[in-house]
Amino acid sequence: MRQFQQTAKYLFPIALILLATLAKYSFTGILGNRTPFLLYSGVVIGATWYSGWRIGLLTNFICLLLVVYLFLEPIGSFYIQPRLYVHLLIFTLQNVLVALMGYALQEALRKSRAAESKVKLLLEEACDLLVLRNENGKAIYVSPKVTEITGYTPEEYMELTFDRLVEPEHLEMFKEKIESVMAKPNERQTVKSLFRCKNGGLKWLEGDVYNYLERPGINAIVSHIKDVTSRIQLETQKDEFIGMASHELKTPITNIKGFTTLAKSAIRTNPEKAEALLGRSEVNIKRLGRLVNDLLDISKINTGRLSYEFQLFNLSSLIQEVVQSFILTYPGHTFTLETVPLAIINGDRFRLEQVITNLIDNAIKYSPESRSIVIKQELKEGKAIVSVQDFGIGISEEHLKHIFDRFYRVDASSMRFQGLGLGLFIASDILKNHKGNFWVESKQGEGSTFFFIVPLQGYSKELAVTDHATFYHNSSISIHYHSKENYLEVKWIGIQTKETVNESGLKILEFVRKTKATRVYNDNSEVIGNWSDTSDHGGKVWFPAMAEVGVSFFAWVMSKDRFSNMAAMRSYDMNKSNILIKLFDRQEEAVSWLLEQEVDV
Ligand code: ADP
């Protein structure tokens, strides 16, 4: 297309010159002698208009030669009679002037068109939805943004009445506001209401509506509409949270007040009772302190200001201390503690105490029918694994994946148990900052076990065993190339963290590149732990990289651990490559499927 336009720029003036010359030849008798100047001036104007001032000037020069050669005496020669000098000079000057004027005009037009389309583009793309209506309220223009917001095309939207768009509960208010705008020139109103989208979903839309019916050049009711659904949701969440937080803070304050008043009156007559009451008051003071600290921590996490003081300390003795204080506070509960004597880690003692306290607190809180809590600590592959098990209400599968989100509370439990849904979110942030990890195993009605891991100090990574060509083995992965069938067998072992997943991912890529394997058997059946921090990267970056080095088929055996599977599913869902990935529960099925796959050459 561009090429054609370029060629036409030259062809058009040539065609004009030819036409003019032909006309002049054919009608010399009628047109007379002076006409070549007029006729060729027309040619130069046309050429300048269509092809720009440069080609216009060139055309002028060619026309000048043609006029002199073909139509001025002596014909067939470039000799110019002195009396015609002035005519030729005027002809040239006039054409140059016309060419320059044409150019200026064209430039002005081009600029104004560019500005117009820029404004239109800005209105349609950068701004939110724009709707213009006439004096009867009928839509006369709807910007394309409407499809992104409501799912309707501009044409569909124009045909819809407010009754179809606005939810019934807001309809009356909506109509009232629009009518009040329409009634008065230059009136403006902000209207916020629930709209029903094409797919049936609801969205909060907020529009500034202006009456510009009498404004020259606009003459319409202009609505500038924004999708404010997430803002409204956030506001609602914030209001709910403030309500919940005030309630949570009020309860221990009321308790403290009650217990101290009772203790005061019992202190002389029944000092034992007074002591017990003060003990209960102390529990509430502690709870209040924890709530306030949680709130402060959340705001610090939001602004990235939660600070840590790292030092070497024995995690085992910290766990013992925390459990000891729970034993004193909850004499009616049984705390079973299985720990190793020494687990030196480099961490923030206060913050990890907060994590353990929160887990045990939750274990007590969410087990109204059971009084037994089991706390275990073991050392594995250079990491300390701590678990807190309860036999309480448990968590259903659908809620598990949100459990570490901020403000998340399982619906059914939030009514029965006090809390703000902050503890686990803070704990998971603390563990991330310790290069640690966090996950949970739970069954509704049977109880939950929360796990966390932190790396031990001074643990040097074991060296990998490898021949750099067909096998590789370390504590978190084993890779084996089956040369006969041309596939790579990858087995992930034990606890996986962001670091091990990233490192092993690179190793697999290296082996695929070396062996040119097109099929990968990926076995997660022995994996534990939550490696969800890397699952997005796995789907978006690692799989495409695997595709690039030649992998076409990927048989994926799932783990028995639910959190690990959630991370795997996330990677699977995010997969951006064209590798064919199939998930399996059983290893034999995965291998036999993989071996059936052939690469088309
Ligand atoms: P809070 O307990 O203050 O609501 P958390 O962040 O500590 O906040 O916990 C978030 C949610 O996770 C809780 O509201 C509860 O629904 C669920 N939960 C946490 N621990 C347990 C547990 N041991 N058993 C059952 N549900 C739990």
- Supply the DSSP symbol for 541: I
Q: Is 419 in the pocket of ligand 1 (CB under 6 A)?
A: yes
Place of tokens 């916020």: 192
Distance 598 CA to ligand 1 centre (A): 48
Query: Is the beta carbon of 366 within 6 A of some atom in ligand 1?
Result: yes
3 state SS of 506: helix
Per-residue model confidence as pLDDT tens digits over 333-383: 999 999 988 899 999 999 999 999 999 999 999 999 999 999 999 998 788
CA distance 334 to 357: 16
Could you tell me if the CB of 392 is within 6 A of ligand 1?
Answer: yes
Q: How confident is the model at residue 16 (pLDDT cuts 50, 70, 90)?
A: very high
Buried b / exposed e along 39-63 (16+ C-beta atoms within 10 A)? bbbebbbbbbbbbbbebbbbbbebb
Instruction: Please write the tens of the pLDDT for every residue from 253-270.
Output: 999 999 999 999 999 999
- Decide: 593 and 555 in contact? Cβ < 8 Å: yes
Cβ(410) to ligand 1 under 6 A? yes
| Mean pLDDT on 55-64 | 88
Ligand 1 pocket check for 393: Cβ under 6 Å: yes
Give 369 Cα–ligand 1 centroid separation in angstroms. Answer: 16
DSSP category for residue 467: -
What's the order of all strands across the beta sheet hosting 471-473? Answer: 465-466, 471-473, 477-482, 487-495, 519-528, 553-557, 580-584
Distances (CA, A) of 11 to 15, 59, 282, 436: 6, 11, 96, 74
Q: Is the CB of 451 under 6 A from ligand 1?
A: no
Average pLDDT value over all residues in the chain = 89
Instruction: Name the one residue in this structure whose structure tokens are 């996330």.
Output: 570
Angle at 582 between CA 579 and CA 587, to 5 degrees: 130
What percent of the chain has a predicted confidence (pLDDT) above 90?
52
pLDDT per residue as tens digits for the range 420-434: 888 999 998 899 899
